[in-house]
Structure 1
Amino acid sequence: MRATATVATISACACLLVGCDLSMTRQRKLTTYAQIDLWPDATPARSLPDGVVAQGDVARAAAAKNPPPVTEALLARGRERFGIFCAPCHGLAGDGDGVIVHRGFPAPPSYHIDRLLAAPAQHFYHVMTDGYGVMYSYADRVPPHDRWAIAAYIRALQLSRRAKVAEIPDAAEHLR
């Protein structure tokens, strides 16, 4: 009985090993920089055809062109996201004096300089998306709607710095 079990085990192992070969691991394939005669440029690496649009690019482009309407909820979200992602470098007031700057990193420009006061809100959106100078892109950390919320909050910071008490309705009541 034991000999029969041993023979059956050996036969099963032999059957399994017969099915194994190296044909799947030793296939002919084209490497990126190999020379081939299939294409006129002799390379297997093909460039994308003209007019190809990456999946999701149309939606991203639409989000970049169409900012949401500015509401209290959007500004509140922008203030929250600004405090998380922007304030460490730019400071809570947008002066470019955040905690990171005090630790030796280069100071970003203040949002209150003339160049950035004249910049459209879309400029801030694109800087968050693509990065600028030493600042890296936040596109993978901050979704498009939140980038617009932060841009709206930056604009509110800029306007609040230049606001005059006479321009604020009911300012006397709020100051008491």
Structure 2
Amino acid sequence: MKHFRKLNLGSGSAHVGTGHVGTGAFARPVGICRSPERSRGGSSTAVSFAALLVLLALTTACRIDMHEQPRQNPLSRSDFYSDQRSARPPVEGTVARGDLRADTYFYTGKIGNNPGDVMPFPITKEVLNRGHERFNIFCAPCHSRLGDGNGIVPSRGFARKPPSFHIERLEKAPVGYFYDVITNGFGIMPDYASQIPPQDRWDIVAYIRALQLSQNATMADVPAGQKIPSAPPRFAEPGSGATLPVLAPESESDTQKEEEK
């Protein structure tokens, strides 16, 4: 009596025997028989896998260490470029983000070669407030807060006194002239192109024009609801953080003195 089970494994079949073939003294166990093709295929796969691991290891070992990356140090000598400069100038025609400058008048204040006499945007209270703030920061040290040229810098002898904004020549000057002077400088005055953005330059120009008008204005020129008390402003103490004149409340004694007068 005999029993036998056959298991087929792929193209190279292997026969797995269970039990015995034959009876009695002639019975013998049946083992596993693999075909030669199957044995060679397994060996080839193992070799390929090992080669892949070696290739991955070599690739990982060749990555660039960012501490030792090929680069040019700022302002260092370079033997790669003919002019030996490591800092390269922008390609011709390069436009910085947000600096397209399609509106030529806004960035130059000129129409052709002549200064224009029109603001590139409406003058609002916000524009004048911004111009007032920027004027006090950048211009008042030489031109004074009134624009008469008696700033603290020339009064201490550190620079020549600038002309007053209230002389006839500057009162008749177009707004583009002031913008151009702020941008490119004039005489001993340096340019402020790198310190004051174009929008702020126009805000300052608008405030200068308002400052000029204020020196020759009357109370009748002040719009209704814009008038302030006639008492002189009392400035806050230095270091209080105030940037504009602060009107202190009048005491009863001050009121009585005004009535006696």
TM > 0.5 fold call = yes
Aligned residue among 139, 152, 161 for 2:193: 139
- Residue 156 (structure 2) pairs with residue 103 (structure 1): yes
Tell me, in whole angstroms, the C-alpha distance in 2 between the residues paired with 1:147 and 1:157: 15
Aligned residue among 184, 190, 204 for 1:150: 204
- Secondary structure at 2:139 match in 1: helix
Tell me, in whole angstroms, the C-alpha distance in 2 between the residues paired with 1:127 and 1:54: 26
Q: What is the aligned partner in structure 2 of residue 121 from structure 1? A: 175
Q: Which amino acid aligns with 2:215?
A: R
Q: What is the aligned partner in structure 2 of residue 75 from structure 1? A: 128
Tell me, in whole angstroms, the C-alpha distance in 1 between the residues paired with 2:81 and 2:191: 40
Deviation at 1:58, TM superposition (A): 3.5
CA 1:153 to 1:28, structure 2 compared with 1: closer, same or farther past 3 Å? closer
Q: Which runs of 4+ in 1 moved over 6 A?
A: none
TM-score normalised by the chain length of structure 1: 0.65
Q: What is the aligned partner in structure 1 of residue 255 from structure 2? A: none
Worse-superposed segment, 78-87 or 166-175: 166-175
Contact in 2 for aligned 1:63/1:144 (Cα 8 Å): yes
| 1:94-127 Cα shifts (integer Å, max 9, x gaps) | 0000010112110011000000000111111110
Q: Which amino acid aligns with 1:101?
A: P
Query: Which of the two has higher C-alpha Rg?
Result: 2
Q: What is the aligned partner in structure 2 of residue 61 from structure 1? A: 104
Q: What is the aligned partner in structure 2 of residue 88 from structure 1? A: 141
The structure whose residues are more often strand, as a share, is 2
Contact in 2 for aligned 1:165/1:171 (Cα 8 Å): no
- Secondary structure at 1:135 match in 2: coil
CA 1:103 to 1:59, structure 2 compared with 1: closer, same or farther past 3 Å? farther
Tell me, in whole angstroms, the C-alpha distance in 1 between the residues paired with 2:187 and 2:216: 27
- Residue 155 (structure 2) pairs with residue 112 (structure 1): no
Deviation at 1:168, TM superposition (A): 2.7
RMSD between aligned residues = 2.8
Which structure is richer in relative contact order (CA contacts within 8 A, separation 6 or more)?
1
Worse-superposed segment, 119-128 or 76-85: 119-128
CA 1:151 to 1:172, structure 2 compared with 1: closer, same or farther past 3 Å? closer
Question: How many residue pairs were aligned?
Answer: 132
Tell me, in whole angstroms, the C-alpha distance in 1 between the residues paired with 2:93 and 2:211: 37
Structure 2 unmatched ranges of 5 or more: 1-77, 85-91, 110-118, 231-261
Tell me, in whole angstroms, the C-alpha distance in 2 between the residues paired with 1:169 and 1:28: 65
CA 1:172 to 1:145, structure 2 compared with 1: closer, same or farther past 3 Å? closer
Tell me, in whole angstroms, the C-alpha distance in 1 between the residues paired with 2:127 and 2:153: 26
Structure 1 unmatched ranges of 5 or more: 1-23, 32-51
Tell me, in whole angstroms, the C-alpha distance in 1 between the residues paired with 2:197 and 2:204: 11
